[in-house]
Amino acid sequence: MATRWTVADVPDQSGRTVVVTGASSGLGLETARVLAARGATVVLACRDTGTAGRAAAQIRGGVGQAAAQIRGGAGRAAGQKRAEAGQASVRVVRLDLASLASVREAAEEIRAACPRVDLLINNAGVMAVPYHRTEDGFEQTLATNHLGPFALTGLLLGRLLDTPGSRVVTVSSIGHRMGTGAMRFDDLQSERGYQPWPAYYQSKLANLLFTYELQARLAASGAGTIALAAHPGNARTDLWRHTPRPTRTLYRPAWRALTFWFAQSAPAGALATLRAATDPGARGGEYYGPPGRLQYTGHPVRVESSAQSHDMAAARRLWQVSEQLTGVSYRILARSG
């Protein structure tokens, strides 16, 4: 394995089925593109099916070239050969993570279409959005970034557990270290004064608490499925669209000659997710992202998350609250003690 982990290190994914949420643009699209190029059957689970359909066509159209660029040697599996021939298997499923009804419908469609799920990549999210209550009565950031992925994972758990070597990868953020530093269980829905950035930081902390608790439950049950997390550093994606104009300007590709030290491209940002999802050496409960003190840019390595993200009492409490709010129970992975 190379010291600098790149797409060339992604193993062949022939015969594997991958679900990527929010895969119509940005990190999700780049993740799906690489996995399709390596031979995986990829499900793009997205809110806007029109945009997702165009993304699927883009993946199919460019996957031959992408596969040729990242293939490793002459001994290619059938799935990758099909990818190189432009025959990637890509389908679109409508998924609005802010709607529990949509999450249930998407999970049902995925279960019906996919006898196996090897990878579930919880990538979709929102950042710094204005205050909004979802149809279920939840604050939008919490609903989209945590409650929706929690419910989707639980509803697809049977397929994951039945698939040897399956993984759940949830995309968090370096922002989980910011804000209050701990989950605000007394105000999860931001009813006492909403602030966009603290709400985002809370949701990203929730992603890690969820990942570590899920891994603990999987390990305790003897499951072959593992849970990991990743973060992209500071990636130039459309996620910044709700931030002030000066911030959006800094993250434009045109400024990369000046901002290269704290911002990287979407393909570079997606590497951490790809490593967590496919590195044969990765283990359950690990967290991947760019190296260094700031973890803004660079090839992905195993990194450490905040002490608050490892508060297992908070993780168990968040799990219980999430089951109550979503109505999705992970009974097969019940906690003992």
Q: Is 200 a catalytic residue?
A: yes
Q: What is the pLDDT of residue 73?
A: 46
What does the alpha-carbon distance between residue 130 and residue 148 come to, in Å, rounded to a whole number? 18
Q: What is the pLDDT of residue 1?
A: 41
Query: Mind listing the pLDDT tens digit for each residue in 144-159?
Result: 999 999 999 999 999 9
Yes or no: say if 227 and 168 are a contact pair by the CB < 8 Å rule.
yes
Secondary structure class of 169 (helix, strand, coil): strand
Q: Is 53 exposed, middle or buried (0-12, 13-18, 19+ CB in 10 A)?
A: middle
Give me the catalytic one of 131, 200, 287, 296. Answer: 200
User: What's the token pair of residue 325?
Assistant: 């709010």
Q: What is the pLDDT of residue 3?
A: 73
What does the alpha-carbon distance between residue 194 and residue 184 come to, in Å, rounded to a whole number? 12
User: CA distances (Å), 248 to each of 130, 157, 325, in order?
Assistant: 16, 37, 34
Secondary structure class of 41 (helix, strand, coil): strand
User: What's the token pair of residue 41?
Assistant: 């059957």
Neighbours of 301 (CB within 10 A): 16
Name the pTM for this structure: 0.90
Neighbours of 128 (CB within 10 A): 18
Q: What is the pLDDT of residue 172?
A: 96
What does the alpha-carbon distance between residue 269 and residue 303 come to, in Å, rounded to a whole number? 15
Ordered by start, the domain boundaries in the chain are: 7-329
Q: What is the pLDDT of residue 331?
A: 77
Residues in the chain with pLDDT < 70? 1-2, 63-87, 179-180, 235-263, 334-337
DSSP class per residue in 93-109? EE--TT-HHHHHHHHHH
Q: What is the residue-averaged pLDDT of the chain?
A: 88
Paired residues of 190 in beta bridges: none
Query: Mind listing the pLDDT tens digit for each residue in 221-241?
Result: 999 999 999 999 876 666 545
What does the alpha-carbon distance between residue 30 and residue 274 come to, in Å, rounded to a whole number? 9
Let me know how long the chain is.
337
> Which amino acid is located at 290 in the chain?
P
Architecture of domain 7-329 in this structure: 3-Layer(aba) Sandwich (3.40)
What does the alpha-carbon distance between residue 138 and residue 87 come to, in Å, rounded to a whole number? 41
Q: What is the pLDDT of residue 240?
A: 46
Q: From edge to edge, which strands make up the β-sheet containing 41-46?
A: 90-94, 41-46, 17-21, 119-122, 167-171, 226-230, 287-289, 301-302
Paired residues of 226 in beta bridges: 167
Q: What is the pLDDT of residue 297?
A: 77
